[in-house]
Structure 1
Amino acid sequence: MATTSPGTRASTTEFVTNSLSARLPEFTYDPENGCTFDVWYNRYEDVITQDGATLDDAAKARLIVSKLDAAAFARFTNHILPKKPAEVSVADTVKTLQELFGHNTSVFARRYTYLRTQCSAEQMKCLVWICGLSASDYADIRAHALRKMEENPHLTLKELSAGIQQILDIRQDAKLLSSPLSPPTLPDVNAVSATRNRAKEPPSPCFRCGGSHSAKDCDYLEKTCHSCKRIGHKKGFCRNFNKRRKRNTKKKPRRNNQVVVVASTATNAAPVKRIYRTVTINGTPTRMRLDTGADVTLLSLKDWITIGRPKLLPPLFALRSADNKEIKVRGHFQCNFSIEGHEGRGNCHVADTASLLGLDWITQVEPLFHQLTGNATCNAVSATTLAKLRSSLTTQLQKQFATVFAPGLGRCTKSKASLKLKPDATPVFRKARPVPYAVLPRLSQEIDRLIAANVLSTVDHSDWAATIVVVQKKNGSIRLCADFSTGLNNALDQHQHPLPTPDDIFTKLNGGQYFSQLDLAEAYLQLEVDEESRPLLTINTHQGLYRFNRLPFGVKSAPAIFQQQMDTMIAGLDGTAAYLDDIIVTGKTINEHNARLEAVLRRIHDYGFRVRLEKCSFLQTEIRYLGFIVNAKGRQPDPAKIEAIHNMPPPKDVSQLRAFLGLVNFYGNFVKNLHNLRVPLDALTKKAATFLWTPACQSSFDRIKAILKSDLLLTHYDPSLPIVVAADASNYGIGAVLSHQFPNGSEKAIYHASRP
């Protein structure tokens, strides 16, 4: 078993002490503001005892004393005379500091001060209401409410509750967006049939003819009386008809008997399937369920009482639920309403059901209609419906862009690739490498295929020649790859065009709800090479020399050349980004997405490229792209990639540690203050450092993997939203976070930056 020298143990203790000291703030005694040693120690006790588990008691005592400010340190050292701080145990040090720097007033004095505190009735209501949010799930809600009270001391309980309700509504909507799209299991829409008179004996004989049927079904309804020459009754019933007409003119208008459609009124429906909005009715905020499938707006009896019991007029409709049970309608009233600043006026029907926001209110204000139904309609598309739309879209695109999806290799008609040699470049000719005999038949077939596609041409002589490498694909076929690293790449000037970073690409996807991916078939080979560059691209095979007429994989400048061509092709197209041969298209709605997708395919057609249909995906709500999962909420690391990091064993040397840190850095913008987590690991990568895997290193290693495994999410960048920048620095690095501030006051991270 390896032994540790005393010098190494001292170095490790010093490192851990310095690391913990950087994390602990200085203690300043301020009892008036609640800054006592008890408060400070309770907060950082775990840092000292758990993270400093490798330290002995003397080192822990030194650590605590070192965090006292000048005044506290002087008072402590004077109190323990004639002892020195190093002679006092950690337990006695903590006990002494608690006695010296505790509350310096009696309980009676503190209670007296509390009772003398004055606040208005509304402030007291708000504080009592906040105290009721005691559950741990409401911690952020409590913090938000207290912050609102600090910002506005005159805040009323009604205003505070309305603000909190808005936050809860947004959470409810977020749950709806994050839940899997699936057909609803409960009745979402109930058609309420009009009440109809069944075939039964009428209460009185027909006044038109005296028969045993209803007057509206009478055969004399449109016949002329031979006596009075009036239409609508039989001879001899003129008097009855006239009396009836007089009575009908005095009657109140009959209740409208039209068919009304309302949403499910069941109170036990799963809340995750619903969207709620806070609606202000006659000045009073009311939480209502949003349903774009409801023709009328309903208000529960409880909410009607809350808004002040406005006077009710007779019911306008007879409502029944899906199971044909009658819904008792108390009446209706006209009112003014507003939703998120949009105002309107309409009828509100009071019924023994949940409060429901219907289309009669939604459609009154156009911005309100687009705001509510736009999102709700998109999000309400079930998985089954989306699959049908996807299938229909795929079929339509195949017919509309048949040449783009046709088998075979495309050819760019807009430009050709050009390779530039360095001034001092000299030709390099390499002999053919031996190829396994079992692969020779398939290699010959692949060469013949490339010759038929005009990718390769036979040559008899060349100053340049590169070897080849045969790679087997997943489907069993092979790929012929040229190894230009043997000479040509060193002689080429680099093509100056940057590849887009993931941040560049995801910025273009801002606001997208639906996504499609296009994959160009044998991407580089669709781009021709000019005549001057072709001799440089000669390969040496078992069959002799061949020259590439198209841009092959493996050329140093090929990625930049091809990326420049892609950027030129998609220039000016909204919601579209390309990383080499992988093109992504997005849209806020299905129609917008489809229009943008067609525009991209039209460009691809104009440029002569072809797309591999089996590797494309259309109309998705979530895609994997560049090692990330992208959806409407933002982006997060691909779980498959994170799983590879999570399964990595602890490194055995510096090279393995650097490999681990390289993988972590790829997702570093998801992790806040990564530089602090990496401190023990970064210390091992320094020059002349001894590789000693300590418990602190293992703890840092495990914490980084655990954080990457957690629910990490970055929101999309939106130029229309305010940006909040927060930065922090320590002895071990700097960290920053770029966030968006949303209209509801919440903040979501766009990017985390960290550097040792």
Structure 2
Amino acid sequence: MNPSLSFRMRHDLIDVLYTYKNAFASDNESLGPIEGHEVDIALNIDRPYPPVCRRPADPASPRARESLEKHIQELIQLGVLRKVGHNEEVEVTKPVISPWNNSKSRTVGYFRALNTYTVPDRYPIPRNQETLTQLSNVKCITSMDSLKGFHQNVLTPKTRKLLRIITHCAIYEYPRVPFGSKNSPSHYQRMMNTTFPTELSEGWLIIYINDIIICCDSWSLHLERLARVLDKARGVNMKISLKRCNFGFEELKALGHIVFVLSLGIDKNKVAEVLLKPIPHNKKEMMSFLGFLSYYRQNLKDFEILAKSLYRICDQQTVFGMTQERIEAYEKIRKALTEAPLILMPDWNMPFKFYMDACGDGLGEALHQVQINDEKLTEGPVCYISRQIKPTEARYGASQMECLPLVWALEKLHYYLYDSFFEVITDCNAVKSLLNMKNPNRNILRWQIAIQEYRGNMTIAHKAGTFTRMLMDLAGGN
């Protein structure tokens, strides 16, 4: 609960929470099950599932056995696991204790073999970028998590026999959807969308798998919407983790970011965990490091260009080795991560500014916007995009190379630029002449056709050196 809430606001909030107290549960209470949403795993009929095989339990030290037994007993008490007979003909796999949030851990089934025979569920998962931009200009935010997520969904009886794990003392079966099953996120997202269809269509409720975010502009509306969500959750027997709720905040953590009223920042706690790790010693560690950074690429200027040498050593044909050049690139990226500026939430009623440039190493571009903040006009970045130059593009002439960023960015930033007015700012006159070139070659002709969609909303301004100077000022904190 937001500590800055007034006494009256706290009182009203507690009244709502008490009314719907049955929608909440703690870690050691029984889960669900959510009613009306049984989950079935469809197997690929073109690839028959292999015959039944038995696997022995993995060897484990006394401490590992104690930890595993503790996790198993917790899941049995919650109704997530049940013991099955040893003489049953079953396909079994091993459980894995996986590190989780806040130094906690959870049991994940090692269902890799089953997942290869499972028909993919293509139900759409919301894109993080779109989810976060929905929080623009919201003055009151509440976030909630359903307790233990997937475990609240029930499996059909015929599916349960496919999801069994073996330990040193018994074989267990999942009556609920486990962590580690291929389509678990899709099943849960579908269930959540089916439970809250009206709220999602009205645009004030955001659901990302088991994360629930309520957006409001006033306190009275916040209480009304919170009551609606809790009422529907209680109606399907969904349990929400009270420990992971944040009620009535102007800013909070969501999807690895810090969400403010008008801007978005990187969660420094997640960054600190990565920065404490030593320099990667093999390809797996380097790919993990780059994967983490890639999640925040829209906050990082010239990310792909800075990481070029690091991506190169992850190739199968390349022998891993941290040269001085790669160590310097690694340190530059770490510094960029710690100094990443806040990016603005897009205001769809205001025009955008698009700064672009190309160099021998790659394309570096920034989408900006001028917004009204405290009755003042301020300009700031909405997102950064970058990529490396492809081998065929490296042979382009100077004019084509300067036009390439525009064509690529219009495709990459379509989410922001479609049906929006924007100004393209470049330090090369060739971009302006591209649109009016007569008798272009086939490559330029394709570019002209791609740009036609945006001609009515786009203006191009030539300002020598503007892009470079502006980004240097931003990096310096000006």
Report how many residues are paired: 373
Give the C-alpha shift of residue 690 in structure 1.
Answer: 7.0
With over 3 angstroms needed to count, the CA separation of the structure-2 counterparts of 1:507 and 1:414, relative to structure 1, is farther
CA RMSD in angstroms, aligned pairs only: 3.4
Query: SS of the counterpart of 1:533?
Result: helix
Is 1:731 matched up with 2:360? yes
Query: SS of the counterpart of 1:562?
Result: helix
1:750 paired residue among 382, 393, 396:
382
Contact 1:509 1:576 in 2 (8 A): no
User: CA offsets per residue over residues 176-229 of structure 1, 9 Å max, x none?
Assistant: xxxxxxxxxxxxxxxxxxxxxxxxxxxxxxxxxxxxxxxxxxxxxxxxxxxxxx
Q: Within 1, Cα distance between the matches of 2:110 and 2:54?
A: 10
Greater strand share, structure number = 2
Give the C-alpha shift of residue 636 in structure 1.
Answer: 0.7
Is 1:513 matched up with 2:132? no
2:291 paired residue among 649, 662, 665:
662
2:194 paired residue number: 568
Is 1:529 matched up with 2:155? yes
User: CA offsets per residue over residues 374-397 of structure 1, 9 Å max, x none?
Assistant: xxxxxxxxx864264664355223
Alignment of structure 1 residues 133-532 onto 2, 5 Å: 385-386=4-5, 388=7, 391-406=10-25, 407-423=29-45, 424-433=48-57, 434=59, 436=61, 450-451=75-76, 453-460=78-85, 461-469=88-96, 480-485=107-112, 487-532=113-158
Q: Within 2, Cα distance between the matches of 1:683 and 1:444?
A: 43
Contact 2:31 2:239 in 1 (8 A): yes
Query: SS of the counterpart of 2:225?
Result: helix
Instruction: Give structure 2 stretches of 5+ with no counterpart.
Output: 389-478
With over 3 angstroms needed to count, the CA separation of the structure-2 counterparts of 1:428 and 1:735, relative to structure 1, is farther
Query: SS of the counterpart of 2:197?
Result: coil
With over 3 angstroms needed to count, the CA separation of the structure-2 counterparts of 1:592 and 1:683, relative to structure 1, is same
1:592 paired residue among 218, 221, 224:
221
With over 3 angstroms needed to count, the CA separation of the structure-2 counterparts of 1:408 and 1:747, relative to structure 1, is same
Give the C-alpha shift of residue 633 in structure 1.
Answer: 2.5
With over 3 angstroms needed to count, the CA separation of the structure-2 counterparts of 1:689 and 1:484, relative to structure 1, is closer
1:253 paired residue number: none
Q: Within 2, Cα distance between the matches of 1:678 and 1:454?
A: 46
Query: SS of the counterpart of 1:701?
Result: helix
Q: Within 2, Cα distance between the matches of 1:755 and 1:658?
A: 17
2:403 paired residue number: none
Contact 1:469 1:481 in 2 (8 A): yes
With over 3 angstroms needed to count, the CA separation of the structure-2 counterparts of 1:556 and 1:675, relative to structure 1, is closer
Query: SS of the counterpart of 2:95?
Result: strand
1:180 paired residue number: none
Give the C-alpha shift of residue 611 in structure 1.
Answer: 0.9
Contact 2:299 2:340 in 1 (8 A): no
State the percentage of identical aligned residues. Answer: 24
User: CA offsets per residue over residues 8-51 of structure 1, 9 Å max, x none?
Assistant: xxxxxxxxxxxxxxxxxxxxxxxxxxxxxxxxxxxxxxxxxxxx
Which moved further from structure 2: 700-709 or 608-617? 700-709
Partner amino acid for 1:594? L
Instruction: Give structure 1 stretches of 5+ with no counterpart.
Output: 1-382
Q: Within 1, Cα distance between the matches of 2:312 and 2:65?
A: 51
Q: Within 1, Cα distance between the matches of 2:249 and 2:147?
A: 21
Alignment of structure 1 residues 545-556 onto 2, 5 Å: 545-556=171-182
Query: SS of the counterpart of 2:157?
Result: coil
Higher-Rg member (1/2): 1
Partner amino acid for 1:581? N
With over 3 angstroms needed to count, the CA separation of the structure-2 counterparts of 1:478 and 1:701, relative to structure 1, is closer
Q: Within 2, Cα distance between the matches of 1:474 and 1:657?
A: 22
User: CA offsets per residue over residues 675-716 of structure 1, 9 Å max, x none?
Assistant: 443355455556756767565544433333222212511222
Query: SS of the counterpart of 1:614?
Result: strand
Contact 1:429 1:466 in 2 (8 A): no
Contact 2:305 2:387 in 1 (8 A): no
Q: Within 2, Cα distance between the matches of 1:475 and 1:705?
A: 23
With over 3 angstroms needed to count, the CA separation of the structure-2 counterparts of 1:539 and 1:709, relative to structure 1, is closer
With over 3 angstroms needed to count, the CA separation of the structure-2 counterparts of 1:432 and 1:479, relative to structure 1, is farther
Give the C-alpha shift of residue 401 in structure 1.
Answer: 0.4
Q: Within 1, Cα distance between the matches of 2:66 and 2:334?
A: 47
Is 1:581 matched up with 2:210? yes
Is 1:622 matched up with 2:251? yes
With over 3 angstroms needed to count, the CA separation of the structure-2 counterparts of 1:602 and 1:750, relative to structure 1, is farther
Give the C-alpha shift of residue 441 in structure 1.
Answer: 7.5
Higher relative contact order (CA 8 A, sep 6+): 2
Partner amino acid for 1:426? P
Give the C-alpha shift of residue 506 in structure 1.
Answer: 0.5
Q: When the two structures are superposed, what TM-score results if normalisation uses the length of structure 1?
A: 0.44
1:606 paired residue among 235, 241, 246:
235
Contact 1:570 1:577 in 2 (8 A): no
With over 3 angstroms needed to count, the CA separation of the structure-2 counterparts of 1:610 and 1:731, relative to structure 1, is same
User: CA offsets per residue over residues 322-374 of structure 1, 9 Å max, x none?
Assistant: xxxxxxxxxxxxxxxxxxxxxxxxxxxxxxxxxxxxxxxxxxxxxxxxxxxxx
Q: Within 2, Cα distance between the matches of 1:444 and 1:645?
A: 31
Contact 1:432 1:468 in 2 (8 A): no
With over 3 angstroms needed to count, the CA separation of the structure-2 counterparts of 1:431 and 1:592, relative to structure 1, is same
Partner amino acid for 1:400? T
Query: SS of the counterpart of 2:240?
Result: coil
Contact 1:430 1:467 in 2 (8 A): no
Query: SS of the counterpart of 2:158?
Result: coil
Give the C-alpha shift of residue 637 in structure 1.
Answer: 0.7
Q: Within 2, Cα distance between the matches of 1:715 and 1:466?
A: 47
With over 3 angstroms needed to count, the CA separation of the structure-2 counterparts of 1:725 and 1:603, relative to structure 1, is farther
Give the C-alpha shift of residue 405 in structure 1.
Answer: 1.6
With over 3 angstroms needed to count, the CA separation of the structure-2 counterparts of 1:467 and 1:753, relative to structure 1, is same
With over 3 angstroms needed to count, the CA separation of the structure-2 counterparts of 1:665 and 1:539, relative to structure 1, is closer
Alignment of structure 1 residues 120-139 onto 2, 5 Å: none
Give the C-alpha shift of residue 638 in structure 1.
Answer: 1.0
Q: When the two structures are superposed, what TM-score results if normalisation uses the length of structure 2?
A: 0.68
Query: SS of the counterpart of 2:109?
Result: strand
Give the C-alpha shift of residue 595 in structure 1.
Answer: 2.7
Contact 1:634 1:714 in 2 (8 A): yes
Contact 2:52 2:89 in 1 (8 A): no
